[in-house]
Amino acid sequence: DGGITQSPKYLFRKEGQNVTLSCEQNLNHDAMYWYRQDPGQGLRLIYYSQIVNDFQKGDIAEGYSVSREKKESFPLTVTSAQKNPTAFYLCASKASGSSYNEQFFGPGTRLTVL
């Protein structure tokens, strides 16, 4: 089955630690995205990548980093510079040239800072 997987489902981090959230897709989509969801805030864009080896900052990129070495994978690192990292993180992908500009979402990762 084609889809997007995110791991882990739950992640706990101590203050000062970096953690990496995994996102993998087998939909052969070119574009991938990371969103952060906080209660009452909707989804906000962290980073996006439209092609391998290229990525762009979104609205709230500070304290986060990404890489796009393979088309299928777009991991997100939450660094110690992120002041309030506790949130729900969603990865999405989109086919280039999609007539609907539709994004497909993974199941999410819940990150909690202890």
Partner 1 sequence: AQTVTQSQPEMSVQEAETVTLSCTYDTSESDYYLFWYKQPPSRQMILVIRQEAYKQQNATENRFSVNFQKAAKSFSLKISDSQLGDAAMYFCAFSDSGYALNFGKGTSLLVTP
Residues forming contacts to partner 1 in the complex (CB under 8 A) are 31, 33, 40-45, 48, 50, 56, 58, 88, 90, 92, 100-105, 107-108
Kindly tell me which of 36 and 85 has the beta carbon lying closer to partner 1: 36
Report the C-alpha gap between 22 and 102 in whole angstroms: 21
Least Å distance, CB 50 to partner 1, is 7
Report the C-alpha gap between 38 and 44 in whole angstroms: 9
Among the listed residues 50, 95, 58, 98, the one whose alpha carbon sits nearest the alpha carbon of residue 74: 50
Kindly tell me which of 16 and 42 has the beta carbon lying closer to partner 1: 42
Least Å distance, CB 29 to partner 1, is 13
Least Å distance, CB 99 to partner 1, is 8
Structure tokens at 2: 């084609």
Report the C-alpha gap between 114 and 112 in whole angstroms: 6
Kindly tell me which of 13 and 110 has the beta carbon lying closer to partner 1: 110
